[in-house]
Structure 1
């Protein structure tokens, strides 16, 4: 049994690295449905269930310190590619579609929570708040909300189960609808021709980054992100708190604002922000999983079904929005997946329509990085009032 904090952290990193290597080398479609980071959660949760490490004082202290300090740094780095000036070039209609998807997801969470409330645990609203952050942005937003609302690690297993199983079904449905785009667009009374202009405009801005001075850039980004983590936590400690707006909630919101502003400065041009933030995300997910076990997931079928209900309501509302605002099927699908799947899957759906549309998918997903945390916290606030 592992009792040393360094050994514990080394094992988590080794498992994360091993799974990422397998995903990189493998041609299996498994990783299309379940990315390595999702499998990582369940593998480490299994090892935790088997008691591979002990929750000693040393390990617990290291866990708390790493998680609380790395997460703000990760959020800052994650946002550096979300340049609002680039997002503006998507055009009002595409951005409107993204926020329509966000609103429909938020409403779907509230409606589904009200329907299933009698069958849920009192603190289950925190679980769904974290999931709504993921489905409006990505896993980084989910981790941010978990920290902000102090969601127990044991409850995060439900979030990951819904996020993996129901998300995979939703991706398959959206991809299956691609051949029927013209039929849908005729029914709505619109077309996707204007997207070509947007796509080509964005594609012209894409450039290949040089690998020179990479070490310098990585060191600057790593040190800057950790400095931001320290400063934002210090600033948050001086702000007034309530039951809902805790010190960690302020930390998450402040670092989100700083990251969005930094994305409009020359800092965003430094190479490596995405790589470092992804490594930090793997570490955070591994740490969360290390405190959970399978014996606590007794309500998994109920939560999976709730996830399907949420997606069904979201889908119905998106069709209504499409009819109201004349969104074509691509815009609806990519707006939905940019929220629910984030940067990892939105470009895949965009490519299924046309490779020229990949930048549109990427930028739409980046909007989620900016609004996902605040959106999830807002949903959490509404859900907490229903309990």
Structure 2
């Protein structure tokens, strides 16, 4: 939430309109450069994720005094209260639960084991660091871990949602964003390495790969039948639907939060007296409900891409509140992330060995959690280009479940932290 300063801002840019243009232009430049217009930028973004720059460049603006990230209305109410729930609607309405079920029980089992590994990893890493180095998990560290759980079960939208629900400090959030990118990048590099050796690994473990071959043919036919160029009507319907549902969510959330505050004794403990918590939950529920209707066909017109635009603008608005110089003050958070990720890998690997699942299931199941719809298709395509939609399907499931599961993980961590 934006905090009004008691003193006039000394930043060079004080106009919200000019700030909006600067953030928009910055995001456009980052993504254009990430497309690799020259060999230098292609190599640069092979090592530096565009997502990290979306945090760091606005943070740099704030650090040098070009902008004042907290003395504006760009983040709150525009980005956090409007764009975030709109992104949740658009990112969840594309979920094809029927298609996911057709992928087979083994894949779903491995994917769910990956989610369990994330939840278990949060508890284990917190407890180990409390034994080894208590200052690492002191104070509000649990809040940052809850936000990170949102990212590793769902995606960026869920991470930001948990940031708002638990009111995570902007600098702490930025520090965990570094942990997020570092651990997710290490996992992706490992999975890409294993993808090139999946045939040998599957042969050695005796995995059955026939279901994968069937998937390749079915998904190739689906992609060819549903792809289309969006029309103006498509885009207007997508925008109208997203913001219309956001309005409904806000209209319901305020009286609902007030009712819980007045009638449920433990409402504050579980943040059920917060209108924003209900906005997040209602927006997610609306998107999931729409995924069972013909409205989900808007995905072929780019619904999730528009939702991702909203999400990245929100991420940049969070970044502009960061104290860039303080981002690396707590490197022990990397240790928390490393322990957390090791637990996740051990759980999902053990689940795959239990049901003799192929390496593809391990890769896409793991990255479907940690990387969501943004990175899971990359891992899936490393096994075969036609399998990329499998990563999308599993990644979008996380958008629907990430908010609820990470909220519950946050409650467990809150108890462990004694708060």
Q: Give me the TM-score of the superposition, normalised by structure 1.
A: 0.94
Separation in structure 2 between the aligned mates of residue 51 and residue 138 of structure 1, nearest angstrom: 31
**Other-structure match for 1:13:** 24
Separation in structure 2 between the aligned mates of residue 135 and residue 142 of structure 1, nearest angstrom: 8
CA drift of 1:229 comes to: 1.0
**Other-structure match for 2:392:** 362
CA drift of 1:208 comes to: 5.0
Which of residues 277, 284, 291 in structure 2 aligns to 1:256? 284
Q: Which moved more, 1:361-370 or 1:294-303?
A: 294-303
Deviations 1:327-352 (A, max 9, x none): 22110111001111122221221122
Separation in structure 2 between the aligned mates of residue 216 and residue 178 of structure 1, nearest angstrom: 41
Q: Which moved more, 1:224-233 or 1:181-190?
A: 181-190
Separation in structure 2 between the aligned mates of residue 365 and residue 341 of structure 1, nearest angstrom: 7
Runs of 4+ residues deviating >6 angstroms: none
Which of residues 374, 378, 386 in structure 2 aligns to 1:348? 378
**Other-structure match for 2:7:** none
Q: Residues 188, 247 of structure 1: CA spacing in aligned structure 2 closer, same or farther, 3 A cutoff?
A: farther
Q: Residues 179, 217 of structure 1: CA spacing in aligned structure 2 closer, same or farther, 3 A cutoff?
A: closer
The answer to whether the 8 Å contact 2:70/2:321 transfers is: no
Q: Which moved more, 1:367-376 or 1:102-111?
A: 367-376
Separation in structure 2 between the aligned mates of residue 65 and residue 244 of structure 1, nearest angstrom: 23
**Other-structure match for 2:220:** 203
**Other-structure match for 1:83:** 96
CA drift of 1:99 comes to: 0.8
* 1:265 counterpart = 2:283: no
Separation in structure 1 between the aligned mates of residue 378 and residue 56 of structure 2, nearest angstrom: 25
- How many aligned residue pairs are there? 384
* 1:185 counterpart = 2:185: no
CA drift of 1:144 comes to: 1.6
Separation in structure 1 between the aligned mates of residue 151 and residue 88 of structure 2, nearest angstrom: 13
- SS of 1:150's equivalent in the other structure is coil
**Other-structure match for 1:106:** 119
Which of residues 84, 97, 102 in structure 1 aligns to 2:110? 97
**Other-structure match for 2:76:** 64
Written as runs of structure 1 = structure 2, the 5 A alignment for 1:43-62 is 43-54=57-68, 59=72, 61-62=73-74
The answer to whether the 8 Å contact 2:62/2:69 transfers is: no
CA drift of 1:63 comes to: 2.4
CA drift of 1:300 comes to: 3.6
Which of residues 336, 339, 342 in structure 1 aligns to 2:366? 336
**Other-structure match for 1:306:** 336
The answer to whether the 8 Å contact 2:179/2:334 transfers is: yes
* 1:379 counterpart = 2:416: no
Separation in structure 1 between the aligned mates of residue 63 and residue 24 of structure 2, nearest angstrom: 18
CA drift of 1:193 comes to: 2.1
Any stretches of 5+ residues in structure 1 without a counterpart? none
CA drift of 1:238 comes to: 2.0
Any stretches of 5+ residues in structure 2 without a counterpart? 1-11, 261-266
Deviations 1:86-123 (A, max 9, x none): 22222222111111100011101110011113122311
Q: Residues 375, 209 of structure 1: CA spacing in aligned structure 2 closer, same or farther, 3 A cutoff?
A: same
Separation in structure 1 between the aligned mates of residue 109 and residue 69 of structure 2, nearest angstrom: 47
* 1:243 counterpart = 2:269: yes
CA drift of 1:8 comes to: 1.1
Separation in structure 1 between the aligned mates of residue 390 and residue 90 of structure 2, nearest angstrom: 21
CA drift of 1:186 comes to: 4.3
What root-mean-square deviation, in Å, do the aligned CA atoms of Structure 1 and Structure 2 show?
Answer: 1.8
Q: Give me the TM-score of the superposition, normalised by structure 2.
A: 0.87
